[in-house]
Structure 1
C-alpha cells in the first residue's frame, strides 16, 4: 500500500471556508486528506514535513457549477460583443459557427484545453453541459471532476416527440437535462426531471428578456427564431408567466433544481425559489458579455436562495476563470460581502453537488488537494477582499 508523507503547510493566512480566516495558519495533511487545520502555534509540534508558503493564502479549491466545455473551440465568438440582450442573434451566430462542422478532434482538444484552464485556475469540480454523449468522457484522466449532463431540446410537436424518443434510448448512466423553458417543452421537462430523481437538475432559466417575452406571450424574437428553425411554434401554448413560475407550475422546482443565470426573475419568483430550496447559478461574466442584465443577487440572498457561480462557455465568456467571475460580481455588486462571494465559488457549489465532505472547505477529512494563492494582504479583512477582486491577476499553485 502506498504511503503518503505527512505535510504541514504554513501560510500567513488560511481560509477554511467554514469559519474565520486564520492568521499565521497551518494545514496538516496525511494520506491524501486534511488531518487538522488551525494556527501554526497549535500545530507546529506535529511530526510532519513543514512547507512554508510566505506571501500566500491557503484556500480550498473552487467549484464551477455551469460550463459548456464542448463549445471551447468557439472561443472566437467572444471577439465582438453581440447587441446587448440579443440572445437570439447570438444563438444564430453560434449555430452558424457549429454548422461548419470542425473535425471531432478539434472540438475534443479544445474542450480538454478548457478543462485544463479551469484546473490551472484552481477549479476542482465542474458541471459540464453538452450535446454530444462522447463529451461525457472529457474528464477522464483529469484531476478536475467533471459532472456531465447531456442537454436535450424539443419544444413542441414533432421536435418534442423526437427528444422524448431520444431520451428513451439513452442509458441510465448518462445524466440528462433540458436546455431551457423556451427550447424544451413541458412533457420533455417533466420526463427529464422524473429521470433525474434526487440528483442535480440544471437548466438555463430566465437568462434574457427575450425568453420571458416568449414565455409570456408566445411572440417576439424567440418565436421568430424558433420558426426559422422549423419548430411548430403555433402549437406551443405559452404559459403566460415568467420562467421560474412556469417551472413551479410543472412541478419541477425543488432542492435539486439549479436555475442557471436567473437574471430576469420577479420578486415573487425569488420567493418561489426560496420556498422550494432551488439554487441559482450566477454567470456574471457571460451575462456581462451578452448584455442580458444582472441577476437580483441581493434580493436572492435576502430570501435565502442558495447561490453558486459558473463560467458558462468560451463562446459567451472570454475567460473560464472563477476568480474573474467573483471579480465581475463584486464590481457589479460592490456591497456584497466578500466572504459570501467566495462561498459561492467554493463551499456553496460543493454542497450543491454533494461534494462538501471532500471539497469546498478546509476541515479534517476533506481532500488535501488545496490551493496556495499569492496574496499581498496584511490583515484577515484584506484576504477575502483580494481573493474576490483580483480576477485574472490571481496566481496559485496546487498543494497535492
Structure 2
C-alpha cells in the first residue's frame, strides 16, 4: 500500500497483537492509508476484511544487519569458528568483490528483508558505497533503512579518513536544502573497541549528540575481545597482527578497571543521543548493571549469529531483568543462514524458555523501533504506521498463540 493512500479499511483476525498490551482475541484494526486510527475487539460495527485464522502483528524491526554481505549463500566458516578467524575470511571475501557486486548484494538483502516483513533496518554502511534504486512497488513491504556509517581504524590517519567518509555519506546533496543537511536516515557506527581509536569513539559520540542521531557499536562480541583489551593477547590480538594493524601502544588498554574495560566504554557511549550496543555476548553482571543506568542505550542481540560462533549462553535474560531494552538483529548472511528476523524470534521462543514470549515479540518490534528512535512503528497503536504482517494460528489462548509462533510458518506481509 502506498504511503500516500487515504483508503479507509477495517481488518479483523483471530488475534491482533498490538505489542503494547496483551494480544486481542477476535480483534480488529481500523486504518486510513497506513495510519492506524482505532483498534478494538468484538464487532467493528462496519464492513471489514476478515483475515481469518491468523494473528496480525506490526512489521518487524531488524535493528542490526550488514546488507553488503548478502552475497553469501551460507555463513562463513564452520559452526564454532573463532570470531577472529571469521573476520579475516570476511575481509578477504569482501576485498575480492566489486562495487557492482556489493550493490547487487545490498539489493538482494533489501528484497529479502522486505519479503520477511521487516519494516525498518538498522543497516551498517561502509562508505563509499552505492545503494540501488528500488521501485517501492516491487517491495513486499514499506521498508525503511537507517544508515549507520561505519568508522573504523587503529591509526589516526585511517580513523580520520573513515570519519570523513562517514560524514560525506551522511550529508545530502544540497539540492533541496543546505549542503550540510544530513540525510533523514543518517547515523554513525564506530565499529568496535578493538578496531576504533578511543578518541574516534568520542568523536562519533559527539556527532551523535550534536545531530541527535543514533549510534551503533559492536561491543563485547566475544571473550577474545575482552582478552585483547585487558591483556593485549589472544586470538583477536593475533588476528590484528596478521592484518598488520596491531599497535602495542593501544593494547592492552589503559583503563581504570583492568577487570572491566566495558564499564568505561558504556559510560563513554552514554553521552550519545541514542546508542545501540550490538551483540554484547560477553557482558558480565557488573557491566549489565552499568548499562541499565542509561535509558538511551539499548542492546541488539543476534541469536542465530550467536549460535554460529558457539558462544556461551547469552545474558539476554539478565539484561531484560535489569530493565535494559533488548532488540533483535540478523547481523548478516556471513554469520546467519538468512535475513529472516522471524527466524530469530522462533529461535528464542524454542531455545530460551527463560524469556517471556511476549518480551521476545517486543524485541523484534517495539524495542528495535524505540532503539532506533521510531515511536511510530513497531507497535499497533492509534497514530502508528507499523506496516502489518500476519502469522497463521488457530489458537484459542495467548499461550497457544505463542506456541504457534514458535512452531509455525513465516509471516506474510499485509502492508
Normalised by the length of structure 1, the TM-score is: 0.90
Q: What CA deviation, in whole Å up to 9, does each residue of 1:237-296 have, x standing for no partner?
A: 423344521313535466712110011011110001001222110111111012233321
**1:154 match:** 153
| Change in 2 beyond 3 A, CA 1:138/1:180 | farther
| Change in 2 beyond 3 A, CA 1:222/1:33 | same
Worse overlay, 133-142 or 150-159: 133-142
**2:20 match:** 18
Asked if 1:225 is matched to 2:224, the reply is no
For residues 198-217 of structure 1, what are the structure 2 equivalents within 5 Å? 198-217=212-231
8 Å Cα contact 1:186/1:250 also seen in 2 = no
| Change in 2 beyond 3 A, CA 1:3/1:323 | closer
Distance 2:360 2:6 in 1: 34
**2:179 match:** none
**1:180 match:** 192
Q: Figure out how many residues of one structure are paired with residues of the other and give that number.
A: 388
Q: Give 1:308 deviation, angstroms.
A: 0.5
Gaps of 5+ in 2: 172-181
**1:124 match:** 119
Distance 1:354 1:116 in 2: 23
Secondary structure of the corresponding residue to residue 265 of structure 1: coil
For residues 265-280 of structure 1, what are the structure 2 equivalents within 5 Å? 265-277=283-295, 278-280=297-299
8 Å Cα contact 1:136/1:148 also seen in 2 = no
1:81 paired residue among 78, 85, 88: 78
Distance 2:393 2:205 in 1: 43
| Change in 2 beyond 3 A, CA 1:158/1:201 | same
8 Å Cα contact 1:118/1:320 also seen in 2 = yes
**2:104 match:** 109
Distance 1:136 1:241 in 2: 42
Q: Give 1:342 deviation, angstroms.
A: 0.3
For residues 167-316 of structure 1, what are the structure 2 equivalents within 5 Å? 172=171, 173=182, 174-197=186-209, 198-239=212-253, 240-248=258-266, 250=268, 252=270, 256-277=274-295, 278-316=297-335
| Change in 2 beyond 3 A, CA 1:137/1:378 | same
8 Å Cα contact 2:206/2:272 also seen in 1 = no
Secondary structure of the corresponding residue to residue 26 of structure 2: strand
